[in-house]
Amino acid sequence: MTKIAASELILNPDGSVYHLNLKPEHIATDIIFVGDQNRVPKITKHFDSIEFETQKREFRTITGTYKGKRITVMSTGIGPDNIDIVMNELDALVNIDLEAQIPKKEHTQLNIVRIGTSGSLQKDIPVDSFVLAKYGLGFDGMLLSYDCDHVLEASFEDAFIKHTNWSPRKSRPYIVKNSSILEKKLLSDKVFAGITATAGGFYGPQGRVLRLPLQDPKLNSKIDNFEFNGVKITNLEMETSAIYGLAKLLGHNACSMNAIIANRANGTFSENPYKPVEELIIYTLDKLVL
């Protein structure tokens, strides 16, 4: 088996993976992603015990036990580029022999759940509700650096491109389905399901205007009213499609959950945005231990 070059699999002097500062024994196979490093302890405060904690840059990790189940909580920072780092280095921890620098013969599968906050794009998804991403729709192009056609929903993508008259100068939108295993665990009558769109930036890529004009000022309204096989785009953020795509390529399970704190269609905002986030944390933790 060919050894992976040191320039490709970069390790710290202590043998931990370069950006995450983690060794294989530091992580559980059940992992919760959050964007904000300050949200990590807001989840792990519910743990029965903490066994490990570290931070490097925006990547903060705490591993412990919740109701007898070992879980790792990690902050990814913002954007698909960060997800590329996090997903590849997490996979390396469980599926590459870091000392020999060769892939392991037996594959270890991770279960990854993202907990985020978002604004709803649909009138019937109210503030303070939960949304599960049945699909991730990526506008960022990151996943297209990989040989990924076999995990994509091509007819779904074509319908979106036609509906929006997507500019050929932009990266082709890509669509990846979630893990049906995790969806079954996390979905209930309390949760709305749909498509979570992932933008490559916060301002222009999400239709926000400060001083720069947009390439397509009507794109957001086209996104809002897109529907394919009865599924609509529920919300817009910056990580889900990248998580889904890399999880599928690397052989892991992934599902994204969002607490809705605003509704763009209705112009409403949660009276207490911290409450639905806390409720989603407890809801997700309890579902993971079942």
> What is the domain-level CATH number for residue 97?
3.40.50.1580
What pLDDT, on the 0 to 100 scale, is given for residue 155? 96
41 located within any domain = yes
Counted domains in the chain: 1
18 located within any domain = no
Low-confidence ranges of the chain (pLDDT < 70): none
What pLDDT, on the 0 to 100 scale, is given for residue 132? 98
SS3 150: helix
At 78-116, the pLDDT tens digits run 999 999 999 999 999 999 999 999 999 999 999 999 999
List, in sequence order, every beta strand (DSSP E) within 19-125: 30-34, 49-56, 59-66, 69-75, 96-97, 102-103, 111-120
At 201, the amino acid letter reads: G
4 located within any domain = no
Helix (H) or strand (E) holding 192: strand 191-198
72 located within any domain = yes
Q: Which domain holds residue 123?
A: 24-288
**CA separation for the pair 46, 65 (Å, rounded):** 9
What pLDDT, on the 0 to 100 scale, is given for residue 16? 97
What pLDDT, on the 0 to 100 scale, is given for residue 2? 87
What pLDDT, on the 0 to 100 scale, is given for residue 49? 98
Q: What is the pTM of this model?
A: 0.96
42 located within any domain = yes
201 located within any domain = yes
7 located within any domain = no
